[in-house]
Chains A and B, each alone.
Chain A
Amino acid sequence: MTALSITPMFSGFAPQALTFEVVGAPTIDELGRVVWPAATEVELTAPIHVASDRKRLERIPGYDAKREVQVVYLTGAQWQQLAGASKELVLQYDGHRYEQLAVSDHIHAADSVLWMGAKLDEVGS
């Protein structure tokens, strides 16, 4: 896994579209093996806001201060498009794939924005 800083690419950037690879919750079979459902791709379109928000990130379980992380802000409607994907998400952008760090169901009081953190460790391209 190659650490890749995407701060210049993402910070303060509002992409027109982001593609999420949506994977549902895994199950365990009779042999005790983890079985992952097949992934599907969902493209979300603007408005999408991506920014560094360390204050919020520190509240995310599993947050590692040594890693650079960004928050992808999604509206409630966008979040609904990822319904059933709350367990595993992979963010794809500009030919790179990024692991999800954590997802929060926190609802922003002002505009019902849901948000998530995307780990910046590149997992493949």
Chain B
Amino acid sequence: MSGPYFDRLQAGLRALVATVLPSATVAWAPTTLPETQVDSPLVTLQRRGGGWAPGEQHDVLPPRLLPTQAVLTVTGNAANTRRVTIDATGATWQVEVAGGTSDSDFRDAIQAALGALGHSLRATFTPIGATQLQLDGDFLGALGSKNPMRVVGDATVSTITEQLARIAQGSEQSFVQVEAKAPFMSGQTTDPLAAHALLGELRAALHEHSKLLGTYGLALRDVTTTVDLTRFAGPGWQSRAAFDLTISQNANRATAIAAAQSVATSFTDNTITIDSEVAAP
């Protein structure tokens, strides 16, 4: 089984809000962050629901071989700037190093990117020599399922071991509430629509930053209207507003199966016997 990658949902949406609203504090709710001690606008994200939904076509794909172990090998001239783009499990990683970076440092930079908190490939990484990185998937499909791992640029990938699998394709839907809270600061002009202004800025930038979400394997599907939640909080009023996002991400389920060992037909009773597609150990 692969995904859903909730860590990518957490990190991707947090990165989006932090990019568009750099002055805001961004946290996922529920949170132990003491609001009364946050002296900047606070944006909280909360997954209010969702779940796995089957794909629109061909829910179960024909059996295919999935990599369980692969090796990345860095290439290119170390004297030049080197770049690599890796697509796997719906997410994307881009690594660039300056000219003069050694092969091992380039390889280590790729490993760091693939293992980043909230934006990771679920695999064990083992450096080999100066140029290679061995990837052992944490589960079947961790190195790619519906689409194979794709590496473009100054690196190549080769599959070492693979497993025949059946893939149920679908997506994980997440309904996420984005709530902005702007405290009315003592000694400052208070704006009853401060939270609306923050969310307006964020909403306007959502599509512009869809590529950022895409690197985490996230796709924006829907945005609701902003609703006002202003209320009395602590020592005074707090401007609050919220809208909901619908986010989807690939969540394909890979199940190991064994290849058919033999197929026998009987012309006397018109039957076909397959020995046998069974679950692999």
* A interface residues (Cβ-Cβ under 8 A, vs B): 25-26, 28-34, 36, 61-63, 87-88, 102
Contact = CB atoms under 8 A, between A and B. Distances in A.
Given A26-B33, A61-B36, A31 B118 contact: yes
A30 B32 contact: no
A20 B65 CA distance: 60
B266 interface: no
A28 B11 contact: no
B81 to A, nearest CB: 26
B10 interface: yes
Interface in B157-175: none
A30 B11 contact: yes
Output the residue of A25, A28, A31 with the most chain B CB within 10 A.
A31
A78 B200 CA distance: 46
B36 A31 contact: no
15 contacts: A25-B37, A26-B32, A26-B34, A28-B27, A30-B116, A31-B7, A31-B10, A31-B14, A32-B10, A34-B31, A61-B36, A62-B36, A62-B234, A62-B235, A102-B36
Contacts of B117: 29-31
A113 to B, nearest CB: 23
A107 to B, nearest CB: 18
B33 A28 contact: yes
Contacts of A34: 27, 31-33
B276 to A, nearest CB: 44
Q: Which range holds the interface residue count of chain B? A: 20 to 34
Contacts of B34: 26, 87-88
Interface SS, A side: loop
A32 B32 contact: no
Contacts of A29: 117
Nearest to B6: A31
B33 A30 contact: no
A33 B28 contact: yes
B133 interface: no
A99 to B, nearest CB: 10
A32 B36 contact: no
Contacts of B235: 61-63
A87 B37 contact: yes
B182 interface: no
Contacts of A28: 25-27, 33
Contacts of A25: 37
B251 to A, nearest CB: 18
Closest 3 CB pairs of A and B: A32-B28, A32-B14, A61-B235
Interface string B110-121: 000000111100
A55 B45 CA distance: 38
Contacts of B36: 61-62, 102
